[in-house]
Chain A
Amino acid sequence: MRTMARGGQGTEAGEEGAAGSFRHLLSVADLGADGIAEVLRVTDSFVEVSERAIPRVPALRGKTVVSLFFEDSTRTRLSFETAAKRLSADTMTFSASTSSVKKGESLRDTVETITAMGIDAIVVRHGSAGVPWQVARWTDAAVINAGDGWHEHPTQALLDCYTIGQARAGAASDVEKVFAGLRVAIVGDVAHSRVARSNVLAFAALGAEVTLVAPPTLLPPSLAGWPVTVSHDLDAVLPGAEVVYLLRIQRERASEALLPSLREYTAGYGLTRDRSRLLRPDALVMHPGPMNRGVEIAAEVADLPCSVVTRQVANGVAVRMAVLFLLLSHPAQLEPGVAVDG
């Protein structure tokens, strides 16, 4: 549990070690298994906060969190803003469509302008991969990647890990035990999915065995270095899978000639009612949302007890509270004279 604290010292000394880079949350890979376990442990406390009559703590009073969204999003942006508000931080929202970006302001000028207002964290979503890394170089605020292109979406991976831990162990306390050898199938449009990339990194870091199930056209051109196995046969994978993670199929994929038709995708890779009979009794069905009922998941299946889709959303707020708290509660500078006791 001391990983983050050590990380704080590392950052101060100017080091950028695995845990030391937790000044920002850019990639879930930066956290490593220990960092992920630490976030999930702290999340337990914020789940308790979220269940209270007044779900608010004063932990980040006086801090300002900006959501800088260059892409449409409802659930991620609202989830981050709710998390910040429950920590008593102030929130500001920036959406590209109503800003000076329309007048031609560059990303760098936008970031520097926002930074000059004196803020503590920037939550970035952008259509291009790598933007959060750029933003982190232009600001001294903590940067949280809320999705960059097809690249990464680390808080989604963290909330998925938490949801699996919660469903399979009651609490996330022994998360590494839950994930050791856990058979996870990620099904769908892996090529265009930042959720898939972050989740593969997180699940594999925690020791799960990940299988990607997709038609060849929806897999990335190269999977070299990915800690996964690949299958094109969902019916063969389903009976062994303990977690079935369905990705959203965007309707454009059919017009881009990557799929013959959505119906054909559903026939081969959709979790239909017939196919759901192949699921293990203890299997979990997950989806990052928004769901296309009738395409990648049948309406009845989405409402089965093994589906934890709503829990994923609820846990999203608690996980983002944990991330914001861990990033923003760090001492900028340690004062030697302060009593550490009470």
Chain B
Amino acid sequence: MAERERLLTPPRGGVFVPRAQVMSADDVRRAVTRIAHEIVERNHGLEDIALIGLQTGGAPLARRLAETLGQIEGTAVPVGTIDVAFYRDDIGIRPVLPEAVTDISFDLSGTTVVLVDDVLFTGRTVRAALNALTDYGRARAVQLAVMVDRGHRELPIRPDYVGKNLPTRRDELVDVTADGVVLGDVIAR
């Protein structure tokens, strides 16, 4: 899920003030290319690999990764998106709303699913995604690819593919777009 959207929603609504560009658009492109190669290497090809992007930040990243994988191996990888709102453990603690409709149009049974998200933080979104995935079938294995791992994990979850490890303060915000990765703060309105 994109941090920008989540942190700017009420009740914590604020304004994102960028402070430092930590990855350029080229850096992101190179990281996508590297992660794609790592996926191919780790899985000895792309047989039975499916990418699933977490709404909303992971969805465009998953599509980009699939494009790159297609260029490397010449095969099309199925891509889906998943919205984990109904599986979150903070329903009733903060306003939780689905951002987009889940779209998984292929059978997960027997596939190796690579979950794709833009930022890995507490790990709670990934926990919710793992629960959601089991409702769509029994994947043979699930791997995790993220553009930025910013630390502060609250659950025993680790990524398999990382664009960049970025030490952060808890109250900072990491904004990942096609134009690059920006670290900044949320200033209350």
Mark A residues whose CB is within 8 Å of B: 1-2, 4-6, 8-9, 42, 44-45, 47-49, 52, 54, 56-60, 87, 325, 328-332, 334-335, 338-342
Contacts and interface: CB of A to CB of B under 8 A. Distances in A.
Contacts of B131: 58
Nearest to A328: B92
B9 A48 contact: no
Contacts of A49: 86
Contacts of B88: 342
A334 to B, nearest CB: 5
Given A45-B102, A52-B135, A341-B121, A8 B6 contact: no
A342 B153 CA distance: 9
Interface in B1-37: 1, 3, 6-7, 9-12
A339 B97 CA distance: 16
Interface in B126-180: 126, 128, 131-132, 135-136, 152, 154, 170
A59 B10 contact: no
A322 to B, nearest CB: 9
B94 A2 contact: no
Given A9-B11, A44-B101, A340 B92 contact: no
A56 B132 CA distance: 10
Interface in B79-137: 83, 85-88, 90-98, 100-103, 121-126, 128, 131-132, 135-136
Contacts, number: 96
Interface centre among B90, B98, B125, B136 (most CB of A within 10 A): B98
A1 B10 CA distance: 11
B92 A9 contact: no
Q: Which 7 A-B pairs have the closest CB atoms?
A: A342-B125, A57-B86, A59-B86, A5-B95, A342-B124, A45-B98, A5-B10
Contact of A340 (B12, B100, B135): B12
Contacts of B91: 59-60, 329
A58 B86 CA distance: 6
Contacts of B87: 57-59
Contacts of B101: 44-45, 47-48
A85 B92 CA distance: 18
Contact of A54 (B94, B125, B135): B135
29 contacts: A2-B10, A5-B10, A5-B11, A8-B10, A8-B11, A45-B100, A45-B102, A48-B101, A52-B136, A57-B86, A57-B132, A58-B131, A59-B85, A59-B87, A329-B96, A330-B92, A330-B95, A331-B11, A331-B92, A331-B93, A331-B95, A334-B11, A335-B93, A339-B152, A339-B154, A342-B6, A342-B88, A342-B122, A342-B125
Contacts of A52: 135-136
B92 A332 contact: yes
Nearest to A47: B101
A1 B5 CA distance: 12
